[in-house]
Amino acid sequence: AQTVTQSQPEMSVQEAETVTLSCTYDTSENNYYLFWYKQPPSRQMILVIRQEAYKQQNATENRFSVNFQKAAKSFSLKISDSQLGDTAMYFCAFMPNNAGNMLTFGGGTRLMVKP
């Protein structure tokens, strides 16, 4: 079984600054995917970024980037130039690369972007 841990229940950042959200996971799988999902107050679950474990290059999507450390089983999310619309709950999630496609989520980090 896999576990995903987000050690920061809440974080805040000033608008336009950079913030990093932490995530660690535990698995015996060698091939898998990692995701960051954003859940704003509307409660819609929105995919922010995804990383394939066999790729060493860190994924980047505009202002969002990850620091993937496979040996350390660490997958942090960096948000640059934070915007008020980034205020949301952020979930780190793990998916083994098999036919199941089941996501295991971490407990979430509530991010508040302050003006």
Please report, as ranges, the residues that interact with other proteins according to CB under 8 A.
33, 37, 42-47, 50, 91, 95, 97, 99-108
Contact between residue 105 and residue 91 where contact means Cβ atoms under 8 Å apart:
yes
Q: Which is nearer to other proteins, 15 or 91 (CB)?
A: 91
CB closer to other proteins out of 19 and 108: 108
Closest CB 33 distance from other proteins, rounded Å: 5
Residue whose CB is less far from other proteins, 16 or 47: 47
User: Could you tell me the smallest distance in angstroms from the CB atom of residue 61 to other proteins?
Assistant: 12
Q: Least separation, in Å, of the C-beta of 88 and other proteins?
A: 14
Please list, in sequence order, all residues whose beta carbon lies within 8 angstroms of the beta carbon of residue 88, skipping any fewer than 6 positions away: 38, 39, 40, 41, 110, 111
Tell the smallest beta-carbon distance from residue 76 to other proteins (Å). 18
Closer residue to other proteins, CB minimum distance, 72 or 99: 99
Nearest to 79 by CA among 12, 32, 10, 25: 12
